[in-house]
Amino acid sequence: MTEITIYVVRHGETLLNSFDRMQGWVDSELTAKGQQQAVATGKHLQQIPFDYVCSSDLNRAIQTRDLILSQLPNQPQVIAPNRTFREVMFGYYEGLNAPATWRDVAKSTDYTGQEALIQHLGFPKTRQLMHDADPANMAETYDQVIARWQHGFDVIRDACPERATVLLVTHGTFIRTLADHQGIDTVGNFPLNGSISVVKETDDTIQLVSYNQTTDTD
């Protein structure tokens, strides 16, 4: 029976994060703070006997992965970076100011920002609003993101033996979508840079057992 424990880490702070810009499939380097966050996360995870490590194919996730690995006493086997684990695609809004983006997305509603939209309309409707507002028609919907997560779990299951402990470095809105799908209230509870969530994967179930945990040094 498959029993895989996946430690899901959000990458460290990036330049675009620090500017409060939409960062999905566009990429930017880790800041000095982001590098420190990744190292702190690695130190926090030193006692976990990882068998495998995987990440998104975006550079900020790979950078974070490598900094975490630099702190681990035993090196897990590396699964090739996989685009399945990329951040949510924001289409036309990629790289734009985040508050301004959400004001634009919300203009057909009575609300003014992402958190208000999620609180009052739910996460699936919020993602649909961005998709509908996107002039490029490329912003991913909630169902598309969940489908990617489901494919990602297949990727991990196929790469690992029946029992394994895996480190996965990925992205904030991607993780948040999984948490929402698992019934966690994510309003005002976005995964922090370097935060850790834990998923248990078996043949029959996917269960998020902890979400958005941070190290004492964050």
Domain layout of the chain by residue ranges: 3-213
Single out the residue of 210, 176, 208 nearest to residue 192, CA to CA.
Answer: 176
| Catalytic positions, written as ranges | 11, 87
Average pLDDT of every residue of the chain: 96
What tokens appear for 103 in the block? 């004001």
58 HSE (CA, 13 A, CB side): 24
pLDDT tens across 6-55, in order?
A: 999 999 999 999 999 999 999 999 999 999 999 999 999 999 999 999 99
Condensed to tens digits (0 to 9), the pLDDT of residues 155-188 reads: 999 999 999 999 999 999 999 999 999 999 999 9
* 13 assigned ligand-binding residue: yes
Is residue 17 a known part of a binding site?
yes
- Determine if residue 10 is labeled as part of a ligand binding site: yes
Q: Quick one: pLDDT at residue 176?
A: 98
Mean pLDDT of 138-151: 98
CATH number of 3-213: 3.40.50.1240
16 is in an annotated binding site: yes
What is the pLDDT at residue 1?
Answer: 85
Hey, which bits of the chain come out as E strands?
3-10, 52-55, 77-78, 163-170, 196-202, 206-213
Q: How many CA atoms lie within 13 A of 122 on its CB side?
A: 7
